[in-house]
Structure 1
């Protein structure tokens, strides 16, 4: 019993610097309705601040609930991008030819010409793994995010677009943390509220 390394229970960030295109993985015990067990893609990160989209929190809404042109397409899910601007639609995609889209890195793009996105969908193209829609976004002032990382709220990693846009999100947080190996893999199995276990 004396051979247990107590450090395995000490939550620590992994000392990787945040940057556009990387993900923030919430620490295992963060009991926050929005960010607990979340995976956030940083779509922008500068000295002014950061913007991200929560990749693994699906809303009980579909795209046709908010945009009537899609009234006969009822299976395009909406995700909770974050607590800011929840009346604003954002879309992350892999379509490199959309005018005005912001490159995020790794073949991912944010927003751009919505009419082109709409046309792509209405032509019957499969969007699975290619486009995801969000209401709201997550935002931090530069020092705020850096402080949260110092406080060990976030672990930083990199993921492939195919993984981030995969519709199987149930285990995304656990898988993203587990891929970092070592104690992170152990943490991925911890209950969020240990006293309820």
Structure 2
């Protein structure tokens, strides 16, 4: 029987990182924050990169932090990364929030939080419109490019609807599967092979 041993080699898909693209961690990355993670790049320049882990929910709700939201339905909080974990970041699809940064078509980062609060307190839809994160992920100049060359990350693009969904259970696996059969096989690898 002929086995294609290349299938076990972690190899980049040669897509360049830029604002609005996602990073998908390689299957054997054993790290509490970055293992099996999908990260949205919110900035990528010569000085460095910044992203938000979009598929790791915290055991905490925004309602527990912002008292005005106390009586609303639970608003999930996600772990954006290990840096500035006491800082709130928010992705949204609201084009009229002053001070927002455009990440990709129809997707924005931060902006006037009073306007976000007003939007929520008026009973508007939150699900798939706004996602909240504590902390962010950051890389110094060239650090992310080096990690991509070392095949720690695959770079891909995703639709706004994928990035904004609250059902994050299979986000990492589905992002890999969309890249083709080789990567789909990776999605079934156990994270710690010795435990298999």
TM-score by length of 1: 0.98
The residue number in structure 1 matching 2:94 is 95
The alpha carbon displacement at 1:131 in A equals: 0.3
Unpaired stretches in structure 1, ≥5 consecutive residues? none
Q: How does 1:72-151 map to 2 (within 5 A)?
A: 72-151=71-150
1:183 aligns with 2:182: yes
The residue number in structure 2 matching 1:25 is 24
The alpha carbon displacement at 1:74 in A equals: 4.2
The residue number in structure 2 matching 1:47 is 46
Runs (4 or more) in structure 1 with deviation over 4 Å come to: none
Q: Deviations over 1:84-128 (max 9, x none)?
A: 000000000000010000000121100000011000000001111
| 1:63/1:70 contact within 8 Å kept | yes
Unpaired stretches in structure 2, ≥5 consecutive residues? none
Number of residue-to-residue matches in the alignment: 196
- Greater mean deviation of Cα atoms: 34-43 or 58-67: 58-67
Task: Write the distance in 2 (CA, Å) between the matches of 1:140 and 1:129.
Answer: 28
